[in-house]
Amino acid sequence: MKKIGVLGAGAWGTALATAAVRAGCDTVLWAREAEVAASINASHENTLFLKGVALPPALRATTDMADLGDCDAILIVSPAQHLRTMSAALAAHVRHGVPFVICSKGIEISSGKLLSDVVTETAPHNPPAVLSGPTFAAEVAQGLPCALTLACTDKAVGMALVEALGAPTFRLYYNEDIIGAQIGGAVKNVLAIATGIVAGLGIGENARAAVITRGLAEIVRFGELFGAQAETLMGLSGLGDLILTCSSTQSRNMSLGKAIGEGQTLESIMASRNSIAEGAHTVEIVYKIAQDNNLDMPITESVYHILKENRDVRSVTEALLARPFTDES
Ligand SMILES: NC(=O)c1ccc[n+]([C@@H]2O[C@H](COP(=O)([O-])OP(=O)(O)OC[C@H]3O[C@@H](n4cnc5c(N)ncnc54)[C@H](O)[C@@H]3O)[C@@H](O)[C@H]2O)c1
Ligand SMILES: O=P(O)(O)OC[C@H](O)CO
């Protein structure tokens, strides 16, 4: 796998394309916005989504999806709710057998499906893989060290991706559990909003640790429903990403929660950003799936009540704390 295409030039797509160049791949980055492709090609910077980070001159950007036509693997890095459209459009341009590596984190709201199922439906001749883990785009783009899960049911394809994209500062660990690798990354964004709310309310570090740990129990319950392997949920794409995202306001999800806890409205926060905070969307479908399947996910429910039903942050927090005591499973 020598030629890598990256579909989506937000912060993460740009960072991943940079990592692919560093790993020695001929890399082409598809941008939805003409000004993004122009700024990457002319000044080696993504001025819209990753301002201030110098990109390698070898990275080429395009707005023409046909330019990905001869790639050996494609990383899909669109917002989760747009992945269906992106995958279907891409399938018309690439060869059969070229893996589609899902780098987005979320669950399709309209169908309740994992993104790997969305790829299978829209691009049946392109095997899905998943790249997920604790990684802030700006750090990856700067070449700081990180580790991620590369999941693919076909081990040969998965290891070929690991060999092509892996590097000392971009360590990839193969995992066959494509389902588990998607669950942690999707649900942790909801929990990061919850820890952000804790920070915004100023109710302490102990409360944050409690939300992370009880949040992990929610990830495990949710993962079991989909058939995720417990080891995967405890690995980089699960616990690892949960810790990172719930610990830093570099996270768009955590900072969104913090602003909510400080009294801002979701609408005003969204209006002030051009970046995606997936948890604000994912919460809707995780809540619905939990309700439909009688899963106990009280932190997720609380985030849902605050974001989607406009309930008062302090009252919802008090109700969460007042739940009956139970065992620690
Ligand atoms: N930023 C990170 O640190 C990071 C790390 C890991 C995973 N991710 C995941 O990667 C995905 C992309 O996030 P990002 O940070 O690159 O985005 P971003 O917030 O930096 O940029 C927004 C992206 O959305 C795209 N977009 C907007 N409207 C669209 C539409 N109608 N159709 C298709 N695309 C549209 C834009 O072109 C741009 O690529 C998300 O699922 C995110 O959770 C992000
Ligand atoms: O900025 P966030 O909250 O979208 O998090 C980015 C990554 O998913 C962290 O692994």
Beta strand segments in the chain, E = 3-7, 26-30, 60-62, 73-76, 100-102, 128-132, 146-151, 170-175
Residue 246 above 90 pLDDT? Answer: yes
Q: What ipTM score was computed for the predicted complex, to two decimals?
A: 0.99
Secondary structure (DSSP) of 103-163: ----B-TTT--BHHHHHHHH-TTS-EEEEESS--HHHHHTT--EEEEEE-SSHHHHHHHHH
**Which protein residue has the closest C-alpha to ligand 2 atom 4?**
252
pLDDT at 1: 86
Q: How high is the mean pLDDT of the chain?
A: 98
12 known ligand binder: yes
Structure confidence at residue 55 (pLDDT): 98
Residues 325, 104: Cα–Cα separation, whole Å:
36
Whole-prediction pTM:
0.98
> What is the CA(225)–ligand 2 centre distance, in A?
24
* pLDDT for the residue 225: 98
Does the pLDDT value for residue 81 go beyond 90? Answer: yes
276 is known to lie in a ligand binding site:
yes
Could you tell which of 276, 282, 283 is best to mutate to test the pocket of ligand 1, judged by most ligand atoms within 8 Å of the CB? 276
Cβ distance 258 to 197 under 8 Å? yes
Give me the pLDDT at residue 205, please.
98
Q: Hey, what are 37's tokens? A: 């492709």
The rounded Å distance from CA 183 to ligand 2 centre is 14
Q: Is 137 annotated as a binding residue?
A: yes
- In 3D space, the residue among 301, 304, 296 whose CA is nearest the CA of residue 327 turns out to be 296
